[in-house]
């Protein structure tokens, strides 16, 4: 029997409120109210709670734990992801995988851990004027979060799906390396995306959130922060409504959270949505603009032997060859990785329908898949997207895909096909509605060269939403200061991936952890709390 730390904690008396079952209005008082329990909110909650502050965490999604994680896509996607893992941009051209549960996307991510790349930091310093964007001054924050979350090299050989990426890079002379992972005692199962059933993944769900709750924090689950009540440059309270599930309407009972300070960490779609719904002052109109996605395109191959991409740690090898060999503000660069391959995810990503689609699905155990994550936000022709509100107050991301990005997509398709053939693929297909299978690299190159590059032809996905509340000292260009404090509201901060002025150019979880830790320590000091003792991972 695997221990379930959440069930044990609840039994031991953690303060957890299910907002969806509230029948009458209720008021909570706190030093700090935090919206979101993912990478930004989790880290912030632990630091503030250990510093002796009274913390209330409000999470829209449900509290689920290892006992609920049964490694079944059809259960995991509706219960743990925004929009049942089918969140889409306004024109439906990009599908966004984003967590919607306690722990946020860290509960369902694939554990890939990278420090913010130095060339990204250099760009932030020179173009966006960020004084904090410096590898050496950030190093202690990375080290601290790496220690806290057991981020380390992964000693187990890559699964075949990842090893094919490695072998392709070897054959073509492209740089590649192993991915560090935030795991402890990982069983190498391959189901990280459905919630870790063994609590090996050191997500917020099993680290900072339990630690904050142990220190007396209150967690409100299934509660959507509807709006902040503010006036005279200060927020006085947050209004929270219960939501029983992603498709359910908001409850009538109202939970009011009064606090000295408010931290938004609801992700790069959720945080701008709260600010927009609340009409928080924003004289430069920055909220929700410059939102980035690492738009990701996909190439599938049929290999001669078994790949079994559903088994084994899902992401262990990467190549930055096409990030490192291109200037950040030149043609769009891309990071190469491999994804887990499960029936629903493969089924909806493979283009087409009927017999053609079925033929690819019947090759399922031999399927090899590569993804290219495009580095957006560094070039004037890559302005990202804009979060807006629908008439019902729910957020929607409008992300137009322009010629600059399509050029990167075509090059990424070519690179992936070449790598797959170099590693021995029999058949390769760009995941694009107009593509067909190619059996030689020459044929693939010719076919990819002719593919129309347009929305709803190429399959474009994203698992990394960043930006929308950029940090910086210049209030004309930044919504929050570099310490996370809002430029126009005294007691409001943003501590999540929305503060980044561009995309990261790497899987963002560690960038968010380190940024949130830096901001939260500053906030604890500003609120007069005792210095926190950094929590260490339990032995």
Partner 1 sequence: MSGPRDAAFIHATRRRFLAVGAASGALLAVAGWWSLRPGGAAPGYRALGKDGVLVSRALIPAILEGALPAADPERETAIRHTLEALDRAIAGLSPAVQAEIAQLFALLGLAPGRWLLAGVRPRWADASTEEAAAFLRRWKDGRIDLMRAGYQALTQLVIAAWYGSPLSWAAIGYPGAPRLSRP
- Residues of this chain that interact with partner 1 (CB under 8 A) are 2, 70-74, 77-78, 83-84, 86, 88, 91-93, 187-189, 191, 197-198, 245-247, 249, 310-311, 342-344, 346-348, 352-355, 357-359, 361-362, 364-365, 390, 392, 394, 396, 433-436, 447, 452, 455-457
Of the two residues 101 and 517, which places its CB atom closer to partner 1 in the complex?
101
Helix axis angle, 403-422 relative to 160-172, nearest 10°?
Answer: 100
Of the two residues 42 and 312, which places its CB atom closer to partner 1 in the complex?
312
Torsional class of 267: left (φ above 0), alpha (ψ -120 to 50), beta (otherwise) = left
DSSP, residue by residue, 406-442: HHHHHHHHHHHHHHHHHTT-SEEEESBTT---BSSHH
CB of 356: closest distance to partner 1 in angstroms? Answer: 9
- C-alpha span between 344 and 191 (Å, rounded): 13
CB of 493: closest distance to partner 1 in angstroms? Answer: 27
Of the two residues 122 and 443, which places its CB atom closer to partner 1 in the complex?
443
The answer to whether the CB of 204 falls within 8 A of the CB of 121 is no
CB of 308: closest distance to partner 1 in angstroms? Answer: 9
Buried b (16+ CB within 10 A) or exposed e, 21-39: ebeeeeebebbbbbbbbbb
Q: Which helix (H) or strand (E) holds 5?
A: helix 5-11
Return the ∠ at Cα 513 (arms to 193 and 76), rounded to 5°: 15
CB of 229: closest distance to partner 1 in angstroms? Answer: 24
Of the two residues 74 and 530, which places its CB atom closer to partner 1 in the complex?
74
Distances (CA, A) of 85 to 177, 185, 369, 512, 513: 29, 27, 19, 21, 23
Of the two residues 15 and 362, which places its CB atom closer to partner 1 in the complex?
362
Other beta carbons within 10 Å of 115:
22
The answer to whether the CB of 528 falls within 8 A of the CB of 149 is no
Of the two residues 129 and 245, which places its CB atom closer to partner 1 in the complex?
245
CB of 97: closest distance to partner 1 in angstroms? Answer: 13
CB of 39: closest distance to partner 1 in angstroms? Answer: 23
Place of tokens 């002719």: 450
CB of 407: closest distance to partner 1 in angstroms? Answer: 20
Torsional class of 428: left (φ above 0), alpha (ψ -120 to 50), beta (otherwise) = beta
The answer to whether the CB of 36 falls within 8 A of the CB of 496 is yes
Of the two residues 95 and 491, which places its CB atom closer to partner 1 in the complex?
95
CB of 247: closest distance to partner 1 in angstroms? Answer: 5
């Amino acid at each position: 029997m695997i221990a379930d730390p959440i069930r044990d904690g609840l039994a031991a008396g953690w303060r957890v409120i299910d907002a969806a079952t509230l029948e009458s209005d209720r008021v909570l008082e706190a030093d700090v109210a935090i919206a979101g329990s993912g990478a930004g909110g989790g880290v912030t909650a632990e630091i503030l709670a250990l510093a002796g502050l009274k913390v209330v965490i409000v999470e829209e999604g449900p509290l689920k734990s290892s006992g609920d994680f049964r490694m079944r896509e059809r259960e995991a996607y509706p219960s743990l992801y925004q929009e049942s893992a089918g969140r889409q941009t306004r024109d439906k051209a990009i599908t966004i995988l984003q967590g919607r549960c306690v722990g946020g996307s860290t509960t369902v991510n694939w554990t890939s851990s990278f420090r913010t790349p130095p060339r990204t930091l250099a760009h932030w310093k020179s173009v966006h004027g960020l004084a904090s964007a410096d590898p050496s001054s950030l190093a202690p924050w990375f080290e601290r979060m790496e220690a806290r979350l057991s981020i380390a090299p992964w000693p187990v050989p890559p699964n075949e799906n990842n090893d094919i990426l490695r072998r392709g890079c070897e054959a073509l002379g492209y740089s590649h390396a192993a991915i560090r992972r935030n795991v402890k005692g990982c069983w190498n199962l391959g189901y990280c995306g459905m919630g870790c059933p063994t609590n090996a993944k050191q997500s917020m769900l099993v680290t900072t959130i339990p630690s904050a709750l142990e220190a007396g924090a209150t967690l409100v689950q299934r509660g959507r922060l509807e709006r902040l009540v503010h006036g005279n440059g200060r927020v006085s309270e947050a209004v929270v409504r219960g939501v029983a599930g992603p498709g359910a309407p908001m409850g009538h009972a109202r939970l009011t959270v009064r606090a000295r300070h408010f931290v938004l960490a609801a992700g790069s779609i959720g945080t701008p949505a709260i600010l927009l719904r609340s009409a928080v002052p924003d004289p430069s109109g920055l909220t929700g603009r410059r939102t980035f996605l690492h738009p990701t395109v996909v190439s599938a191959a049929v290999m001669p032997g078994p790949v079994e991409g559903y088994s084994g740690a899902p992401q262990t090898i990467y190549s930055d060859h096409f990030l490192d060999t291109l200037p950040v503000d030149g043609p769009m660069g891309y990071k190469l990785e491999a994804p887990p391959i499960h029936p629903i995810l493969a089924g909806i990503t493979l283009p087409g329908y009927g017999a053609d689609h079925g033929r690819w699905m019947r090759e399922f155990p031999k399927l090899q898949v590569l993804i290219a994550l495009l580095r957006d936000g560094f070039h004037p022709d890559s302005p990202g997207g804009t979060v807006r509100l629908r008439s019902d107050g729910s957020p929607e991301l409008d992300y137009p895909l322009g010629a600059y990005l399509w050029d990167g997509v075509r090059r990424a398709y070519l690179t992936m096909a070449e790598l797959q053939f170099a590693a021995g693929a029999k058949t390769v297909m760009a995941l694009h509605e107009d593509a067909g299978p190619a059996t030689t690299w020459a044929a693939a190159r010719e076919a990819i060269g002719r593919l129309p590059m347009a929305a709803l032809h190429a399959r474009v996905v994203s698992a990394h939403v960043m930006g929308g509340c950029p940090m910086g000292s210049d209030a004309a260009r930044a919504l929050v200061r570099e310490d996370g404090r809002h430029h126009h509201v005294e007691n409001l901060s943003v501590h999540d991936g929305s503060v980044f002025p561009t995309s990261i150019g790497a899987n963002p979880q560690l960038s968010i952890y380190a940024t949130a830790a830096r901001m939260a320590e500053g906030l604890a000091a500003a609120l007069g709390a005792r210095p926190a003792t950094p929590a260490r991972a339990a032995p």
